[in-house]
Amino acid sequence: FDSDWITGHLYEQDGRGSVAKAPEGLVEMLPTEEWIDYEIVAAGDRIQLFMNGIQTVDIEDPE
């Protein structure tokens, strides 16, 4: 990855665009030569995203 690579965000295609951004420095914490486990947890209005166990998003989104 390079530092301009965007990952770990919550993005709404054909809608609002970026809904929640990942934490700064996430790309540097991820491996570059192996698969990344990506987990999405959605319960009611709460959305959580995890990459290799690192939480990248935790929001309440009624939309």
H-state helical runs in 12-61 = 26-29
pLDDT band of residue 11 (cuts 50, 70, 90) is low
CA 26 distance to own-chain centroid: 9
pTM of the model: 0.66
Q: Is residue 8 within 8 Å of residue 26, measured between CB atoms?
A: yes
Query: Within 10 Å of residue 34's Cβ, how many Cβ atoms?
Result: 8
pLDDT (tens digit per residue) in 28-62: 666 677 787 889 999 999 989 898 888 888 888 88
Q: Please tell me the predicted confidence (pLDDT) of residue 13.
A: 65
Query: Within 10 Å of residue 56's Cβ, how many Cβ atoms?
Result: 21
